[in-house]
Amino acid sequence: MRLLLDTGVLGMVCHPKKHEPLARWFKNTLEDPEGRVQILLPAISDYELRRKLLHLSIYKKRSEAQESLARLDDLVEVLEFLPLDTETMWRAAGIWADARGQGQGTSAENTLDGDVILAAQAEAARGVVVTTNTKHLSRFVPAHHWEDLVAGG
């Protein structure tokens, strides 16, 4: 199974002391000798978390944000990083237009919609999104709440 981390879950992984059950599951999954589960790092999730951590560490002088940013940098080296490409962005635009056309947009009309970009990345990777908000994402791609994965594995 290929799992893509949504921004909220990625933030929790980067701040493991506050999220022990998720941190333990994440570590065990990475160390699984059979490699049944592959955890992927989508560029859109990295971007959304990184911009927040940079803001907090530079402008708010929060040391825990600097520590989380260092963990995020480490994850870029450990996990398979899914960069954004033209086809993914075109697919995201199509998902956004379809949702908007059905009256089910996931963000304001003039904003960059990270959820549809993540959905397009999940489609391209043939993966499942691990999230804190299955409501939006499960309309587009398979999505599991992180607590369900931790409880099940």
What does the alpha-carbon distance between residue 95 and residue 91 come to, in Å, rounded to a whole number?
Answer: 6
In a domain, 7, yes or no: yes
Q: What is the CB neighbour count within 10 angstroms for residue 29?
A: 18
CATH number at residue 135: 3.40.50
What is the pTM (predicted TM-score) of this model? 0.91
Residue 108 corresponds to which tokens in the numbers above?
């304001």
Q: Which one-letter DSSP state was computed for residue 104?
A: -
pLDDT digits (tens, 9 = 90+) for 14-37: 998 888 999 999 999 999 888 889
pLDDT digits (tens, 9 = 90+) for 117-132: 999 999 999 999 999 9
- Please name the amino acid found at residue 4: L
Host domain of residue 6 = 2-83+128-152
In a domain, 77, yes or no: yes
Percent of the chain whose pLDDT exceeds 90: 71
In a domain, 78, yes or no: yes
What does the alpha-carbon distance between residue 137 and residue 40 come to, in Å, rounded to a whole number?
Answer: 16
Average pLDDT of the residues of the chain: 91
Q: Please spell the DSSP secondary structure of 87-120, one letter per residue.
A: HHHHHHHHHHHHHHHTT--SS-TTS--HHHHHHH
